[in-house]
Amino acid sequence: MQPPERSQVVAAAIIVAAGKGERFGAPDKVFLPLGGRPLLARVLTTAEQAQSIRDVILVVGEHTRATSRDLVAEGGWTKVLSIVGGDVRRQDSVAAGFAALAPDVEIVAIHDGARPLATPALFDACVSAAVAHGAAIAAAPVTDTLKRVAAGKITETVPREHLWAAQTPQAFQVDLLKQAFDFATREQIEVTDEASILEAMGVPVAIVPSTSANLKITHKDDLWLAEALYAHRQGELPEFDQ
């Protein structure tokens, strides 16, 4: 199969890796190994291989800036244009990366530095969907039964029909995301992902189907699972019987 032609739209990726890994218990979480390489290296390689992405902006915390510079210097990723400092809130870190975009970028894909199993094809699909719809995010259908809990007691079973778990990449037309940032500042909105701002604005956001394999490394169990998934992709674990 021939690879798809590179999009004529100028797209960039912002990799957000400024967190301190508080829930994981490791401030340099994105440098923990996955298949023998740092998580962040896996993410940067994926962005490098995405045909739709021309530029990559890496957003890091002050506590990992030197290590990040060393990683990029040694990694040979040609698309990484700059490393910028992030902030405590995710939306401020994304805004810092957004400010570093080249003026001709039309689509920006935002991705978690701790989500190492996304594929280049998923980046490309999100960029294509943002071109068509203005905004698009990777997401996976919810499969678990969901319970609403108060004071340690179940108060309601939440129907999982039509529920999707939001992931990254999340891709946006640059002008639309700029409007979203201005709206969030004006309305003093604090969110955990950029799609939430567009929802608050009443702007539709398209879904790009993904799977639970595109997990974010938040707890130690996530890293163990990611290791197994990565090994499976490399053919190091047997296929499950059909």
Using the predicted structure, report yes or no on whether residue 242 has a pLDDT greater than 50.
Answer: no
In one-letter notation, the amino acid at residue 150 is A
Among residues 3, 4, 30, 2, the alpha carbon closest in space to that of 17 is found at 30
Tell me the pLDDT tens digit for each residue of 82-111.
999 988 788 899 999 999 999 999 999 999
pLDDT for position 233: 87
Residues 128-137: what's their mean pLDDT? 97
Cα separation, 12 vs 101, whole angstroms = 8
Tell me the pLDDT tens digit for each residue of 178-215.
999 999 999 998 888 999 999 999 999 999 999 999 99
CB 111 within 8 A of CB 47: yes
Q: Which residues of 11-50 are buried (b: 16+ CB within 10 A; e: fewer)?
A: bbbbbbbbbebeebeeebbbbbebbebbbbbbbbbbbbeb
Whether CATH 3.40.50.300 fits 11-233? no
Tell me the pLDDT tens digit for each residue of 35-84.
999 999 999 999 999 999 999 999 998 888 999 999 999 999 999 999 99
Q: What angle do CA 79, 5, 15 make, to 5 degrees?
A: 30
Tell me what the pLDDT averaged over the chain comes to. 90
Cα separation, 73 vs 172, whole angstroms = 29
